[in-house]
Structure 1
Amino acid sequence: MDTTVTETLIELATRLAAVSSHEDETAAGDEIEAWLCAETDADVRRDEVGNVIARNGAGERSLALVGHHDVVAPADEQVTDDGNYIVEACDGRLYGRGTADMKGAVAAAMLAFRDIDVAGTSSERTSSDDASLPGELVFASFVGEEVGGVGARHAIDEGFSPDYAIVGEGSTGYSSPGVTDVAVAHKGRRGSTITAHGSAAHASEPDAGENAIYRATDAVSLIRTLEAPTVEVAGESLEGSVVVTEIDGGTAMNVVPDRCDVTVDERTVPGERAAIERLEDLEGVEWTVDQDLPPMRCGDEAFAGGVLQTADSVQSGSPEFVTKPHATDAGWLAAAGTECVICGPAEPGEAHTADESVSVAVLERCYRIYRGAAENWLG
């Protein structure tokens, strides 16, 4: 790895990670937009919700390098006196909120986007002859990923529809420690509320009312009988789940309750869902979907295989196709028709922690994967 590239990557990742973006992503978006405008000749635009999207080249096909620059709320010890984040380098890692999830990957994708010579990937092309390019290279960093894909959904609604995308969420350490794998599927999440309605009465005369908690327990019993779906992806089983997580009902010890609310967490898998809609057949029970984050599965074996081949060529370990247990913006993109894979530096257990960190060596590796995969795709 060129030491200049390494130094630039560390500096950029550190600068991005230091900017507060758990409540307002504006300043982080400003940094990304300004860097892209200064360092590339791409068409860089900021949409009305704060997404930063840069485009280079032209053609019938498009490949996007995708990330997000919002983060979850930091721990107190991760914040400076001025409200930004503390970022420290130690033992080959960068420590700080957002280093793993996922400003480190955003920095690697930005640098790769800058360094990919779109016009020069074929000797028959020139920078002034966009019509001969095989496709468009896109960089996108979204807002609101941590709160349900706000930015990705807005971009899709406004016409963002690359044919292919490499999403830089974590895929390191899944098949074996330290290896950066390629995730070709992940679970989704559907969160819902069961509301059981009854009629209140004095507890001394329970038959005078209709106990909403009893109706809620009937719903819970039904939930426990549902079979969670399982699909086979990349040689392993991706298993869904359905679980009751909260219950709230009643107003007093001596009152038959007229309402009871139950929350349900459902992990969905591509193409299959538990038959939770059966709740609607129960008397006095209402089912409301509060959040539905889609799962993802890559259906283009050639694209996924190309990224895996590049990942294999830039590391000593042997990467594999893997699956992820949680939803990402790749789910929204896949639902809109984009073929996605996930490849990024974060390791299981690093994101959202008080000592969040990312390996500098793996950041460098991801830069090489993003650049190599895109150049191979363009070539």
Structure 2
Amino acid sequence: MDVVDLTRDLVSIPSHEDETAAGDYIEEWLRAETDADVRRDEVGNVIARVGTDEEAHADGETLALVGHHDVVAPAASQVDEDGAYVLERRDDRLYGRGTADMKGAVAAAMLAFRDAELALSNIDGVGGDDSGADALVFASFVGEEVGGVGARHAIERGFAPDYAIVGEGSTNYSKPGVTDVVVAHKGRRGSTITASGTAAHASEVEAGENAIYRATDAVDIVRDLEAPSVDVAGETLEGSLVVTEIDGGTAMNVIPERCALTIDERTVPGERAALERVESVEGVEWTVDQDLPPMRCDDEAFAESVLEAADAAQSGSPELVTKPHATDAGWLAEAGTECVIYGASEPGEAHTKAESVSIEVLERCRETYRAVAERWLR
């Protein structure tokens, strides 16, 4: 089975509301194609391991190939009359929901995992009962599209690889036709500012406390805050901070007793904007609704080793780059895993009606993952 066939099988399985069937396929394939220790956890994550046994892990280190098999809801054109997802091949690309984000990269990682395990079995004295040997893990998570549900569940229950290659998109970042190695990305913190006041008739202004005025005082503080930035891989990764929604008041002739504002904040590794300052305004509370962590790889040797394999797998010259979008790499990095991102998806492909992925790039990803994994296990 090649990467096109495996991607076709994975993409055809609906997984935007229920990832069970896609997880079943991945689990069964791994059990049939490898001798790895394959496990399925309570939420549906599929995790396979070769090399050092997890309980016997001593001096060795673990490398994980990480993806997710959930997708966003498909467009009507991406589903057939029986409810299956449609995959079409046109020239050198595959079209369909999940091709780019990210079942194509999951397929490439599955094949690379199998090939690396086969290479491992041909090396005397590596893996098995050797507690000093390194280990290779494949993990496909659920719930990435809804806040990293699967990754967080696995981490809370001890999933802790030393290193990880996360197969999110890194193609066409430095230049067209090149798959780069992402060493940092932004996070996202979504929060709410709630201002409380006292209702009164609008003809008696002094009898009430205007919650909208208090909220706008808080907005003034937000506008004066400087969003952090950090220099990574020769680039400046810049955070941002913006008020995106407002809800307040009940009628034209009533002093409002409540006003709520939402804030979209793009975070960078190491720093956060001091949004808690808005609580210096009387009657104002600030609550965090979602906090997707940023990621930065601090192990230069690991990043360079992946870059070397990526360079060997393509004719172009890949670079170490940054990415604007939060991924499961953020959760892993927060838990102590050194992560890079390397995958087939290109900017503007994920979540679209015409989502597609290059077959050449999928093959490139498979070869890069395989090369890094085999070198790791040797």
Spell out the pairing of 1:23-42 with structure 2 (5 A cutoff): 23-42=17-36
Shift in Å, 1:122: 8.1
Spell out the pairing of 1:150-161 with structure 2 (5 A cutoff): 150-161=149-160
SS where residue 173 of structure 2 aligns?
Answer: coil
Read off the aligned partner of 1:265 and give its amino acid letter: D
Q: Determine the C-alpha separation between the residues in 2 that align with 1:232 and 1:121.
A: 42
Q: Determine the C-alpha separation between the residues in 2 that align with 1:269 and 1:131.
A: 40
Q: Are the counterparts in 2 of residues 185 and 322 from structure 1 also a CA contact under 8 Å?
A: yes
Give the stretch that moved more between structures: 362-371 or 111-120.
Answer: 111-120
Cα shift readout 1:65-95 (whole Å, capped 9, x = no counterpart): 0000001111111111222211111011110
Q: Determine the C-alpha separation between the residues in 1 that align with 2:123 and 2:216.
A: 69
Alignment CA distance shift 1:39-1:306 (3 Å): same
What is residue 101 of structure 2 aligned with on the other side? 101
Q: Determine the C-alpha separation between the residues in 1 that align with 2:343 and 2:132.
A: 27
Identity, % of aligned positions: 74
SS where residue 287 of structure 2 aligns?
Answer: strand
What is residue 181 of structure 2 aligned with on the other side? 182
Cα shift readout 1:79-125 (whole Å, capped 9, x = no counterpart): 11222211111011110001000000000000000111366388542
**Does 2:90 align with 1:90?**
yes
Give the stretch that moved more between structures: 256-265 or 78-87.
Answer: 78-87
Read off the aligned partner of 1:37 and give its amino acid letter: R
Q: Determine the C-alpha separation between the residues in 2 that align with 1:108 and 1:10.
A: 9
Read off the aligned partner of 2:211 and give its amino acid letter: A
What is residue 360 of structure 1 aligned with on the other side? 359
**Does 2:288 align with 1:294?**
no
Q: Determine the C-alpha separation between the residues in 1 that align with 2:29 and 2:341.
A: 24
What is residue 142 of structure 1 aligned with on the other side? 141
Spell out the pairing of 1:287-366 with structure 2 (5 A cutoff): 287-366=286-365
Q: Are the counterparts in 1 of residues 120 and 377 from structure 2 also a CA contact under 8 Å?
A: no
Q: Which runs of 4+ in 1 moved over 3 A?
A: 117-124
Q: Are the counterparts in 2 of residues 280 and 286 from structure 1 also a CA contact under 8 Å?
A: yes
Alignment CA distance shift 1:14-1:170 (3 Å): same
What is residue 65 of structure 2 aligned with on the other side? 65
Alignment CA distance shift 1:27-1:282 (3 Å): same
Spell out the pairing of 1:107-118 with structure 2 (5 A cutoff): 107-117=107-117
Q: Determine the C-alpha separation between the residues in 2 that align with 1:166 and 1:133.
A: 22
**Does 2:7 align with 1:8?**
no
Q: TM-score, normalised by structure 2?
A: 0.96
What is residue 4 of structure 1 aligned with on the other side? none
Cα shift readout 1:246-267 (whole Å, capped 9, x = no counterpart): 0000111111110001000000
Q: Determine the C-alpha separation between the residues in 2 that align with 1:126 and 1:275.
A: 50
Spell out the pairing of 1:184-223 with structure 2 (5 A cutoff): 184-223=183-222
Read off the aligned partner of 2:97 and give its amino acid letter: R
Q: Determine the C-alpha separation between the residues in 2 that align with 1:139 and 1:126.
A: 18
Q: Are the counterparts in 2 of residues 121 and 378 from structure 1 also a CA contact under 8 Å?
A: no
Cα shift readout 1:166-217 (whole Å, capped 9, x = no counterpart): 0000000000011000000000000000000001011111111011001111
**Does 2:236 align with 1:242?**
no
Q: Are the counterparts in 2 of residues 56 and 118 from structure 1 also a CA contact under 8 Å?
A: no
Q: Determine the C-alpha separation between the residues in 2 that align with 1:294 and 1:16.
A: 28
Give the stretch that moved more between structures: 50-59 or 349-358.
Answer: 50-59
Q: Are the counterparts in 2 of residues 175 and 320 from structure 1 also a CA contact under 8 Å?
A: yes
What is residue 12 of structure 2 aligned with on the other side? 18
What is the RMSD of the two structures over their aligned residues, measured on CA atoms?
A: 1.3
Q: Determine the C-alpha separation between the residues in 2 that align with 1:34 and 1:23.
A: 21
Read off the aligned partner of 2:159 and give its amino acid letter: F
What is residue 3 of structure 1 aligned with on the other side? none
What is residue 261 of structure 1 aligned with on the other side? 260
Q: Determine the C-alpha separation between the residues in 1 that align with 2:153 and 2:252.
A: 47
SS where residue 192 of structure 1 aligns?
Answer: strand
Count residues in correspondence: 372
Q: Determine the C-alpha separation between the residues in 1 that align with 2:264 and 2:42.
A: 32
Shift in Å, 1:151: 0.2
Shift in Å, 1:133: 6.1
Q: Determine the C-alpha separation between the residues in 2 that align with 1:179 and 1:130.
A: 40
Read off the aligned partner of 1:224 and give its amino acid letter: R
Read off the aligned partner of 1:48 and give its amino acid letter: E
Q: Determine the C-alpha separation between the residues in 1 that align with 2:185 and 2:122.
A: 35
Shift in Å, 1:126: 5.5
Cα shift readout 1:212-251 (whole Å, capped 9, x = no counterpart): 0011111111111110001000011000000000000011
Q: Are the counterparts in 2 of residues 125 and 133 from structure 1 also a CA contact under 8 Å?
A: no
Q: Are the counterparts in 1 of residues 34 and 117 from structure 2 also a CA contact under 8 Å?
A: no
